[in-house]
């Protein structure tokens, strides 16, 4: 019986010594440096510097701008195209609610990413500047080419005449 008690005490001491040894290996003591058997982990990278409040505005290819400027705009046709391609996601009423996309009343000349209560992608919010006719034309030609992380899933209007007509219609949606 005494042997069992002594054996239990010795076993407990051995377990505590082992736990203490493992703890010392896992958590080095403050002060003296501990030798390391492995190469130290690289220092964490400093936090990235904040992104500028505005990103440079992409310049549309000259062919798109020239094509848009030389075409005769047809607002009636633009309205028809808009109704077929855009109305499922955008409203055009002054003060109207947003849908999947923002309300487009007064979009020409409006600051980018500024429709009230609409959640734009980060990149769109950081673009800065106002929507020019050339930028709108480039954007609706291929939204993901213009703003890579845009939430807009529309493939784009490939026909320059259609874009010019839609743009002519959008210009009528203002005070």
Q: What is the pLDDT of residues 16-44, one digit of tens each?
A: 888 887 777 676 666 555 555 556 556 66
The count of residues in the chain is 175
CB 109 within 8 A of CB 131: yes
Mind listing the pLDDT tens digit for each residue in 80-123? 999 999 999 999 999 899 999 999 999 999 999 888 899 988 88
pLDDT the model gives residue 3: 84
Q: Cα angle vertex 67, ends 128, 100, to 5°?
A: 45
DSSP state of 159: -
Token pair of 51 as six digits: 């992104």
Cα distances (angstroms) measured from residue 40 to each of 23, 25, 36, 56, 62: 19, 15, 8, 40, 53
């Amino acid at each position: 019986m005494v042997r069992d008690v002594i054996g239990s005490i010795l076993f407990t001491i051995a377990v505590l010594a082992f736990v203490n040894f493992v703890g010392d290996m896992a958590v080095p003591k403050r002060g003296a440096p501990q030798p390391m058997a492995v190469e130290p982990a690289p220092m964490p990278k400093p936090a990235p510097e904040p992104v500028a409040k505005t990103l440079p505005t992409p310049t549309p290819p000259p062919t798109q701008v020239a094509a848009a400027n030389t075409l005769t705009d047809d607002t009636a046709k633009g309205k028809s195209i808009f109704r077929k391609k855009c109305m499922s996601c955008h409203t055009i009423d002054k003060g109207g609610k947003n849908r999947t996309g923002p309300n487009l009343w007064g979009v020409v000349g409006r600051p980018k990413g500024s429709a009230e209560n609409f959640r734009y992608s980060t990149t769109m919010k950081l673009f800065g500047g106002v929507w020019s006719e050339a930028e709108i034309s480039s954007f609706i030609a291929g939204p993901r080419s213009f703003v890579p992380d845009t939430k807009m899933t529309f493939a784009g209007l490939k026909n320059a005449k259609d874009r010019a007509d839609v743009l002519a219609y959008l210009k009528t949606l203002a005070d």
